[in-house]
Chains A and B, each alone.
Chain A
Amino acid sequence: MIPTFAELFAETGCECWNRTTSFLISRRTFAGGALLAALAGKTARAQGFAGLGMNGQGFAPVVPGRPLVFPADHGPHPDFRIEWWYVTANLADSSGSAYGAQWTLFRQAMAPGPQHEGWANQQIWMGHAAVTRADTHRFSETFARGGVGQAGSQASPLEAWIDAWQMRGGERMNSDTLSPLELNAAGNDFAYTLRLEADHALVLQGDAGYSVKSEQGQASYYYSQPYFRARGRITVDDKPAEVTGLAWMDREWSSQPLASDQTGWDWLSLHLNRGEKLMLFRLRDRGNHDFISGKWFSPDGREMRLGSSDIAMTPRVFTDMAGHRIPTTWDIAIPSLSLAISCTPVNPKCWMGTRFPYWEGPIRFSGSHSGVGYLEMTGY
């Protein structure tokens, strides 16, 4: 469906259309989105990104100190330019074979201002879903206009959907733990349904949910539920498998593009085997001023914010795919956590050949700590 839409417009060579779709891209587009910076709007490049505050385009600004309120913030924030609901799961079937699953819903506003009714609504929605096994990686992509019900989201009871894909909380969901949560998606050659449950409260990224994305101060609102246990069924080529494992949900929204010299990012979510969780991202730029940030959480409620000086991320093994050279194995060292691990992919060929292509897939790691996680890389 997507190539359709995309091709239809791409064939005409329209720059504007590229602009529109490319900011629909993928989650950390926004957080790390160099492309977004260039593509977000006609005035973006000209104005530059001098600090925070309104960029004059009428979208709501991201400011420090705004408390996140639940369940309201589980729902959509249409005044902000961009937003996503993002779940990754590290799973295994009864024989112990590893699986990964991704479920993503993006929202993008084409214009600021009050929400229009029906087809005049300015929101565009995009869904990405994927299933990964050591021997295969399947993905699908779909688009929808807002305003008519084909895609959307609501806070209570939590629901987010595009076409037949949905994330549903239901009446019994605890809005502090986001549990339980039903999740499903399907493509031409795969499908999955998962039930996510958690005993621990969700966690706020950055400074109480205010997550800084560049030295200049670009930021987003960002919270996660990294403590999900997942159970469900994954079907690949009509062959179903019962799976269980861990899942991680991210919610993030913002209005601001990022610095124009940022070229891509590397993002990791790690389930450490003693129950701690670790989120890391690195925003690469054309100079050598990578912006690295992260946060560590433990089940007993402790947490630690990590900055560029705390973290060393070193690519080790590169994989060539679809004309791109991607670092699929990483060494990560965080001395303040006495952490030194090596991350390897379950399947190095987790290429998301979507409208805006990137790499995203399940990983394992070992060293000072062991465990599983997810890795996303763009801009290679």
Chain B
Amino acid sequence: MTRDKEIVLSVRNLTKAYSAAGEKVSVLRGVNLIVAAGERVALTGESGSGKSTLLHLIAGLDRADGGDIDFAGTPMAGLNEAGLAALRRDRLGLVFQQFSLIPSLNVGDNLAFQSRIAGRNDVAWQTELAQRLGLAGLLDRYPEQLSGGQQQRVAIGRALAVKPLLLLADEPTGNLDETTADNVLALTRDLVARTGCSLLMVTHSNRLAATLDRHVNLSAGLIA
């Protein structure tokens, strides 16, 4: 984080509304956010404040109503579905609760598959990741044979295996007990530092948020 101050992610004036039961509900009302290379940012906010929506928009899983997201210097509004998919595949790591592991692949394959799809399968790096995440002995197991913490470590490994520019994490420790959560987070911080990638993590825990470089709070669709 001391290297350069190159900007990885720039979110400007982002708006997003959903219509529910015929009524329009504004979730994001002009969010601005900048994440520099190597910077680790915690995003907090109350339930329904739009944290996950913001993360989805940054990941290109959904389209914003207004505003811009520049990722690695590329305006995301200019990308089509395939372009967004390529962006996710090559430059982003996602650790979301609902995009869990693929149950029919073993740990090794789960770790490798995004980088395989991205076409840069770095076996040495995967071995190191497995080592550091404490998964080295579990590579042949299937997700259903792992504990929650182990599963989440595999998910983090999978996301980092492609050496992304930015790791997006949505409550990665939400289902874990405190000790495990601390443990997983510490590992994540280490690995992020090791790869030089940036981190944007949604959490509802101020305690965890405090362990990162910066802490932003989303409230009423705005970042204060």
Please say whether the chains A and B touch (CB closer than 8 A).
no
